């Protein structure tokens, strides 16, 4: 049977969607749909689903942190376009194993993250889902239309930046799989997988500054998400392997796990950091904004004419486009 890649399914759906609307600024193909409203503002709409056994494992993911993650991964999409998250819908597909205490803790974690971002839960649905728990969340955000950051505006000559360190969440997942999540030295890595932190403040500051051309969050690994920016913008990118930001904890844990820290950073996914492009002359103002947001940023490459993402390492280059995580059906 033919296996279908997630991005190909999305492209096929987009081709079938022929209709549009006067107030639709951007539909399928970015982190959020963008809908124009009065006063120069737009609504940002995003939705995501988490499925037991695919996105989380209840053997190590406690319900409170699962609720937090369900909210955070959707809020991250709003931050990736520079918006302010406002409202959420929460659909619960509950399995037979979910008791009242489990559900209460999960919902409490979800609402805790919403409160951290001054958001309100405005509705949802609850159904029986059989053997696997499934969570589906829709988030609405808001921002000025002229400030929205899309994937499609990167230009040759731009520098490529990322926030934070990459690969922590993928390493944390592997630590959990091997039963090492209880060791204190691995706590930051496991927390990156269990309780990711969306970069909403940094995203809003970057969008408001006008210093950035293109931006998105890193959910499927830098190799895939930067490739999305390149494809939508009609450009290529070159990434310097030695500049990819790797935490000291990641390097130590990867050595114990006998994994490549660079591969975890490029291909692992679920970091929910930001990747963005900006003109070189904006470098110092960008660093000032990152300090204001309390989040480090790193320049690790450049946008170039062409297509795809090239990793430059040891004097050679290789194409790493779309080599991050991808659902296959």
- What DSSP assignment string belongs to 198-246? --HHHHHHHHHHT--SEEEEESS-HHHHHHHHHHHHT-EEEEEGGGS--
Alpha carbon separation from 178 to 18, 171, 172, 175, 219 (Å, rounded): 47, 11, 10, 5, 22
- Residue 57 sits in the same domain as residue 78: yes
pLDDT tens-place string over residues 184-232: 999 999 999 999 999 999 999 999 999 999 999 999 999 999 999 999 9
Cα–Cα distance for residue pair 225/190, rounded to 1 Å: 22
Contact 167, 267 (CB under 8 A): no
Residues whose CB is less than 8 angstroms from the CB of residue 216 and which lie 6 or more positions away in sequence, other chains included: 30, 31, 80, 151, 225, 228, 229, 274, 275, 276
Q: What percent of the residues of the chain are helix, what percent strand, and what percent coil, each to the nearest 5?
A: 40, 30, 30
Cα–Cα distance for residue pair 17/179, rounded to 1 Å: 45
Band (328; pLDDT cuts 50, 70, 90): low
The residue from 119, 147, 175 where one domain ends is: 147
Rg (CA), the chain: 19
* Cα–Cα–Cα angle for 155, 301, 204, rounded to 5 degrees: 65
Q: Between 168-177 and 248-257, two packed helices, what is the crossing angle to 10 degrees?
A: 40
Overall domain count for the chain: 2
Residue with tokens 């913008």: 233
pLDDT score recorded for residue 1: 42
Both tokens of 133, joined, read 């728990």
Q: Between 187-194 and 248-257, two packed helices, what is the crossing angle to 10 degrees?
A: 90
- Residue 86 sits in the same domain as residue 223: no
pLDDT tens-place string over residues 141-180: 999 999 999 999 999 999 999 999 999 999 999 999 999 9
pLDDT score recorded for residue 3: 52
Whether 325 is covered by a domain: the verdict is: no
- Residue 134 sits in the same domain as residue 207: no
- Residue 108 sits in the same domain as residue 172: no
Whether 205 is covered by a domain: the verdict is: yes
Band (16; pLDDT cuts 50, 70, 90): confident
Domain of residue 118, CATH code = 3.30.1330.10
pTM of the model: 0.93
- Residue 15 sits in the same domain as residue 85: yes
- Residue 43 sits in the same domain as residue 192: no
162 strand-pairing partners: 275, 298
The residue from 124, 147, 170 where one domain ends is: 147
Domain of residue 177, CATH code = 3.90.650.10
Whether 154 is covered by a domain: the verdict is: no
The parent domain of residue 307 ranges over 159-319
pLDDT tens-place string over residues 155-165: 999 999 999 99
Contact 51, 132 (CB under 8 A): yes
Percent of the chain with pLDDT over 90: 87
Neighbours of 23 (CB within 10 A): 12
Residues whose CB is less than 8 angstroms from the CB of residue 273 and which lie 6 or more positions away in sequence, other chains included: 162, 163, 164, 165, 166, 199, 217, 218
- Residue 224 sits in the same domain as residue 113: no
The residue from 147, 168, 203 where one domain ends is: 147
């Amino acid at each position: 049977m033919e296996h279908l890649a997630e991005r190909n399914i999305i492209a096929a759906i987009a081709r079938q969607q022929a209709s549009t609307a006067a107030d639709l600024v951007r539909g399928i193909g970015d982190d959020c749909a963008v809908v124009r409203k009065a006063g120069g503002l737009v609504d940002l709409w995003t939705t995501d689903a988490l499925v037991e056994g695919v996105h989380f494992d209840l053997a190590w993911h406690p319900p409170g942190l699962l609720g937090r993650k369900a909210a955070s991964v959707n809020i991250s999409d709003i931050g990736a376009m520079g918006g302010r998250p406002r409202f959420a819908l929460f659909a619960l597909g509950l399995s037979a194993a979910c008791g009242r205490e489990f559900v209460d803790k999960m919902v409490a974690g979800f609402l805790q993250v919403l409160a951290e971002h001054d958001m309100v839960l405005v509705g949802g649905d609850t159904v029986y889902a059989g053997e696997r728990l499934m969570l589906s969340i829709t988030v609405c955000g808001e921002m000025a239309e002229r400030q929205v950051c899309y994937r499609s505006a990167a230009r040759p000559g731009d520098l490529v930046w990322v926030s934070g360190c990459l690969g922590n969440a993928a390493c944390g997942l592997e630590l959990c799989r091997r039963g090492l999540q209880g060791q204190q030295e691995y706590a930051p890595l496991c927390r990156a997988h269990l309780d990711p932190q969306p970069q909403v403040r940094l995203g809003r500051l970057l969008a408001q500054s006008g210093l950035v051309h293109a931006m998105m969050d890193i959910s499927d690994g830098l190799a895939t998400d930067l490739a999305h920016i390149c494809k939508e913008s009609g450009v290529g990118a070159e990434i310097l392997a030695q500049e990819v930001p790797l935490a000291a904890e990641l390097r130590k844990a990867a050595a114990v796990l006998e994994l490549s820290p660079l591969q975890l950073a490029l291909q692992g996914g679920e970091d929910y950091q930001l990747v963005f492009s900006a003109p070189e002359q904006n470098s110092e103002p960008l660093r000032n904004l990152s300090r204001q947001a309390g989040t480090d940023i790193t320049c690790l490459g450049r946008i170039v004419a062409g297509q795809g993402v090239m990793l430059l390492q040891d004097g050679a280059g290789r194409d790493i486009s779309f080599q991050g995580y991808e659902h296959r059906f």
